[in-house]
Structure 1
Amino acid sequence: MTLCVHSLSAQYYFYDNERLEPAVLWEAGVSVGAMNCFTDLGGKKGVGKGFIKDLNGQHYNFAGGFYVGALYHQTIGGRLEATFGRVSASDNVLEGDMGAAKGRYMRNLHFRSKIAELALLAEFHPLTLFQSMAKEPSYFSPYIVGGIGVFHFNPEAFNGYTWVALQPLRTEGQGFPQYPDRRPYRLTQVNFPLGIGVKYEVSALLNARLEIVHRILNTDYLDDVSKQYIDPTLFSENLSHEAAAQAVKLADRRQELDPSVVTTEGSIRGDPKHKDAYFTIQFKLSLSIGRTRRVKF
C-alpha cells in the first residue's frame, strides 16, 4: 500500500513521483563563466556606439562564485550570491582604425580591476503560473532576476614594469582643491544587477542554469576614466614625489604613441555622460534541498 499525501504546500515530485515537493525549495550552488565591462576605454572600431553595440569581445575574463537561495512554489524566489572576477579594457584594441576611432586609439589608456561582489537577488519564473494548464510541467524554466549588490573594484594600469593602482594617483584631479567638484571615488559601491536566465531540472536533486546578468553602476570610474585631462603640474602640488611621477605618466599616455602631444587642461579624456557597467555570462550548477522521499508501505 502506498501512503498518499496531498496538501496545499506539497505535491509529488513530477519527474520520478518519488519525492515530495515542498512549498519552499532551498538551493545551493556554484557559478562559472565570463565577465566583461562597458567603460570609456576600448570598444568597437568606428564611431562609438551605445551599450552592447560597442562591446569588444577581446576582454572577457573568468568569473566564478557561489550562492544559496529559496524558491516558493517554483515561481518566486530569492538568493544571496557572491561573485568574483576581473574586468579590463584597452584602447589598443582599436589599432589600425585611423578613422572615427583614431582619437580613442591615440588616447592609449588601459586598465584592469578585480571584482568582488555580494548581491541579494529576487527571481521570477513566469511559466510556472501556467503549469496547471499543461499535462506535465516543463523541465525548463526561463526567469528574470534583479536586485541590489555591493561590489569592490580597484583599477590598475601597467607602467612598463609593474601594475599600479590608479585611484590614489587622482589622475583627473579628484580631491584636489583646484577641482572642488571632483571627489575621490570610493572603491566599494552599490550596484543593481538585472538579468535573465533559464533553469533546467536535471534531476530531483540537481539543477543547471544559464544566466546573463548586467550590473548597473553609479560610477564612471570603473576604468579610472571619466572627464577631462588636468594640468599635469598639479600632481606635484598635491601628491608625494613618487605618486606625482606615476600620475604624470599614467594620466596621459598619448605621448607614448606621439611624442609631440602636449597635455592641455580641459581636453577630453572620457565621457562623463554615461556610467560604466559590467556583466557576467555564467553556467550554474546547484543542489535542491528540501525534497523528501515519499513513504511507502
Structure 2
Amino acid sequence: MRILKVTISFIVIYFILGQQNINAQYYWYGYGYGESDVTVELGLSGGIMNGMTDIGGSKKGKANAGFLNDFTIKNTKLNAGLYLSATYRDVIAGRIEANFGSIEAADSNLRGTNNAHALGRFDRNLSFKTSIFNANAIMEFHPLFIKSYFDSDPPRFSPYVLAGVGVTKFNPQANLNGRWYDLKPLRLEGQGFSEYPDRQEYKASTLTVPFGVGLRYDLGPLVNLRVELVRYWTNTDYLDDAHYGDWVDPSLFYKYLTPGSAAIATQLYNRSTTINPPRNTRPRANEKDNDTFWSFNIKIGYKFNRRM
C-alpha cells in the first residue's frame, strides 16, 4: 500500500539526513525542561485489519469466539489512516483519527475441519467482504511519564493503553458468478417484510468502541514511531449481513424487491451446497454476539510545537 511505502521512505530519509543532528542536539522534553505543557502531533499509519463475525472463523470451534480462537490469517487485509493528537506532559494524550480498510471472511476457508461447529459453517457456505471507514476520538495513557525526569533523561520507549469511541461505516457485499453485490438492499433476512415485523432494515454505520495497547519510540525530538494493536467493539451484528438464525421464505423476495434483485437475493440468501440434510436446517447466524474487528498498525508522527 502506498502509505506504507511513504512511511518507510520517511523513516529512511529522516535517519540519513538527520542522524548526525539527532546525536548532537537531541532535545528531551518534559515539564521543567522549557517545553510546552501540550505538544501537538500529526501522523500517518498503515497496517493490517481482520474481522470477527458470524462467517468463517477458526477451524477449531465457534465463529466470533475471540481474538486467539478466531484469527484467520488468510482474511487479513491492509488498512491505512491518519491522526492528530495533543499530549499533556507526555502522560495523557487525546487524538482524533480516521482509518480506511476492509474485512472479509468465507465459510469455504473451513474446508478440512473435523469440529462440529466449524463443519456446520463450512456446509453453510456464506461469504462476504466489506469496506471499513472509521473515525475515532481516543485517549492514551503513558504510565512511565507519571514520574518527573528532572535529573535524568526520560525513556525513549513509552508503552501505553488507549480507549475511545467512534463511528464505523461499512457495506457488506457477496460474490455471485464473479460479480460483487451489495447485500443490504437485498434484505436477505427479511428486513422490512411485514411477515417479519421485528426485523427492521439495519444502518450501514455503527457505534465503535476501540480499546488497545501501543508502544511509542522517539526517533528524535520531532519524530516518533509507534506500533498499536486495537480491537473495535461494534453496536451491530451486520458487518457480514448475517444476524438471525433462521431462514426467510425466498418467495417473499419477489413480493418486496424488483424481479432482478429478487433473483439475486434468492441465490445469495442461502448458499449451502449440502442437500442432505436440507440446507435450511442449520442456523444462518448467531443473534447473541455483535461483530468486532481489530487492527495492527505502525504509525509515524511529527511534533509541531516542540522548541529546539
Using structure 1 for the length normalisation, give the TM-score: 0.88
Q: Measured at CA, do residues 242 and 263 of structure 1 come closer, stay the same or move farther in structure 2, by a change above 3 Å? A: farther
> Any idea what the Cα deviations from partners look like across 1:95-128, whole Å, max 9, x if unmatched?
1124422111011010001111111111111111
Task: Summarize the Cα distance change of 1:20–1:272 in structure 2 as closer, same or farther, 3 Å threshold.
Answer: same
2:98 to 82, 88, 92: 82
Structure 1 counterpart of 2:35? 21
Distance 1:233 1:127 in 2: 62
Distance 1:270 1:132 in 2: 54
Name which of 146, 151, 167 aligns with 1:129. Answer: 146
Taking only aligned residues, the RMSD between alpha carbons, in angstroms, comes to 1.9
- TM-score (norm. length: structure 2): 0.85
Which one of the candidate residues 251, 257, 261 is aligned to 1:239? 257
On the 8 A contact 2:124/2:282 being kept in 1, the answer is no
Instruction: Say which SS state the counterpart of residue 147 (structure 2) adopts.
Output: helix
Contact 2:120 2:282 in 1 (8 A): no
What corresponds to 1:190 in structure 2? Answer: 207
Is 1:57 the counterpart of 2:84? The answer is no
**1:34 equivalent in alignment to 2:52:** no
Counterpart in the other structure of 2:110: 94
1:131-188 CA-to-partner distances (Å, cap 9, x unmatched) read: 4497331101111111111111000000112100000001111111111111111012
Corresponding residue for residue 70 of structure 1 = 86
2:230 aligns to what? 213
Shift of 1:81: 0.2
Matching residue of 2:61? 47
Q: Distance in 1 between matches of 2:91 and 2:74?
A: 37
Q: Is the 8 A contact 1:175 1:182 kept in 2?
A: yes
Is the 2:124–2:279 contact (alpha carbons within 8 Å) kept by the matching residues of 1? no
Match of 1:230 among 248, 267, 281: 248
**Match for 2:179: what amino acid?**
T
Matched residues, number: 276
Identity score, percent: 38
- Which residues of structure 1 form unaligned runs of 5+? 1-11
The Cα offsets for residues 221-246 of structure 1, whole Å up to 9 and x where unpaired, read as 10001112111111111111111111
Flag the structure with larger Rg. Answer: 1
- Name the SS for the 1:137 alignment partner: coil
Distance 1:211 1:104 in 2: 32
1:281 to 269, 277, 296: 296
Partner of 2:198: 181
Asked if 2 retains the 8 angstrom alpha-carbon contact of 1:229 and 1:263, the reply is: no
